[in-house]
Amino acid sequence: MKSLSELREEIDRIDREILALLNRRARLAQEVGEIKKKKGLPFYVPGREAKILSKLEEINQGPLPPESIRAIFREIISACRALEEPTKVAFLGPQATFTHLAALKHFGTSSDLRPMDSIQEVFDEVEKGRVDYGVVPIENSIEGIVNYTIDMFLDTDLKISGEIFVSVNLHLMSKEAELSKVKKVYSHRHAIAQARKWLSENLPKIEVEEVSSTAKAAELASREPGTAAIASEAAALLYDLNILAKNIQELSKNFTRFLVIGKTDSEFPSGRDKTSVMFSTKHVAGALFKALQPFAVYDVNLSKIESRPTKKKPWEYVFFVDIEGHRKEDRVAKALEELKETCSFFKILGSYPAGFKE
Ligand SMILES: O=C(O)C(=O)C[C@]1(C(=O)O)C=C[C@@H](O)C=C1
């Protein structure tokens, strides 16, 4: 068996090799960046990034698990992309919200991430070209759809270029060191709903106040003695709070799904894609059935359907549908073409690499 110092020497040698290889990779990315600059091509290519990650996952023989491989290579790609041109990303802030975590997970720490006060502002920043992309929440596995985000697609021409899943682990945190000192709890509406059972069992008589985000709650808890927040671990770190109770959400598997919005979608199929469309049907019997039939005919799986009022005329609805596959795949293209023919209104919101639920 090798000794501790022998093992560490070997690790040092390998780290030097990794470093040299990383810089070789970075120089190649710089060359790619030069070509893109000359040709006016986008620096961020979501389909290519997703393909790199899934290929590596395929050949990975461990012991590193797939989620570690993805996290490491996302950071490598983020650093290489930043050498070409730092990606500017607006997200629903403040710092340490779950949307911030989603933006970091997707674009990596070498990106220029900018917190915004509202979902509307994220859309505006992207529309005005002040940032390249935006990250907004679209649905939670317990609480359902974020109406505000989905309705924004009625009034914008922005496209979806990616999706991100973040597992929502909620903790109770405070400047106080003991639960008995907590007299008031702050959090976001969704987080309070998800922790309701824990709150009624552990802090039954305590005042609970809704605020705009879990991160805002943590900020308030850091300033007001005797208060606590329900928020993420990142918020506890940022505001230097003690975690008094871990994972207080009702279900241990609780995800929020986020969308990446931009001027274009992910143009090239990655092999593991989704497509989002919105449409309205004509007011005739069986219209929705006829609209969705092409998906069955061409064997295209529907992963979600949501209806929302158009807000133009009472009782008129628009449907939002997510399907598995890229709009450039033959069977998807055919199904979408036939769907379009049955609709009074139809728009492709974008094709994009499917996110990883981890
Ligand atoms: O292949 C490219 O287009 C690159 O710019 C390289 C690279 C990478 O580091 O692998 C970086 C950014 C793109 O989003 C995709 C991939």
User: What's the CATH code of the domain at 76?
Assistant: 1.20.59.10
CB 174 within 8 Å of CB 227: yes
Do 40 and 52 fall within a single domain? yes
Q: Percent of the chain having pLDDT more than 90?
A: 83
Do 203 and 213 fall within a single domain? yes
Do 98 and 160 fall within a single domain? yes
Q: Which atom of ligand 1 is nearest to the CA of 84?
A: 5
Q: Let me know if residue 11 belongs to a domain.
A: yes
pLDDT of residue 314: 78
Last residue of a domain, one of 54, 85, 116: 85
Do 286 and 229 fall within a single domain? no
pLDDT of residue 209: 97
Domain count, the chain: 4
Residue 351 has pLDDT above 80, yes or no: yes
CA 152 to ligand 1 center in whole angstroms: 30
295 as an active site residue: the answer is no
Residue 224 has pLDDT above 90, yes or no: yes
Q: What is the CATH number of the domain that holds 211?
A: 3.40.190.10
pLDDT band at 190 (very low <50, low <70, confident <90, very high): confident
Residue 135 domain boundaries: 87-167+258-264
Closest CA to 154 of 306, 326, 282: 306
Task: Assign 347 to helix, strand or coil.
Answer: strand
Residue 311 has pLDDT above 90, yes or no: no
Mutation to probe ligand 1, out of 41, 43, 45 (largest number of atoms < 8 A from CB): 45
Rounded to the nearest 10 degrees, what angle do helices 66-84 and 46-59 cross at? 140
Taking the model in full, what pTM does it have? 0.90
Last residue of a domain, one of 52, 85, 118: 85
Q: What is the CATH number of the domain that holds 298?
A: 3.30.70.260
* pLDDT (average), residues 148-166: 94
Do 240 and 306 fall within a single domain? no
Q: Let me know if residue 358 belongs to a domain.
A: no
Task: Assign 175 to helix, strand or coil.
Answer: coil
Do 58 and 97 fall within a single domain? no
Beta carbon of 53 within 6 Å of any ligand 1 atom:
no
Last residue of a domain, one of 196, 231, 253: 253
Secondary-structure breakdown of the chain: helix, strand, coil percentages, each rounded to the nearest 5: 40, 25, 30
Do 148 and 81 fall within a single domain? no
Residue 304 has pLDDT above 90, yes or no: yes
Q: What is the Cα gyration radius of the chain?
A: 23
pLDDT of residue 275: 98
Do 124 and 192 fall within a single domain? no
Do 241 and 289 fall within a single domain? no
Q: How far apart are CA 356 and CA 344, in angstroms?
A: 34
356 as an active site residue: the answer is no
Q: Which atom of ligand 1 is nearest to the CA of 25?
A: 9
Beta carbon of 29 within 6 Å of any ligand 1 atom:
yes
Mutation to probe ligand 1, out of 34, 49, 56, 270 (largest number of atoms < 8 A from CB): 49
* pLDDT (average), residues 142-147: 83
pLDDT of residue 184: 97
Alpha helices in the chain (DSSP H): 4-39, 46-59, 66-84, 98-107, 119-127, 147-152, 189-194, 196-202, 214-223, 233-238, 287-297, 330-342
pLDDT of residue 243: 97
Q: Let me know if residue 73 belongs to a domain.
A: yes
Do 299 and 339 fall within a single domain? yes
Do 104 and 148 fall within a single domain? yes
C-alpha distance from residue 160 to each of 153, 170, 186, 222, 316 (Å): 10, 28, 32, 36, 24
Residue 121 has pLDDT above 90, yes or no: yes
pLDDT of residue 146: 87
- Plot region of 210 (φ>0 → left; ψ -120 to 50 → alpha; else → beta): beta
Do 333 and 279 fall within a single domain? yes
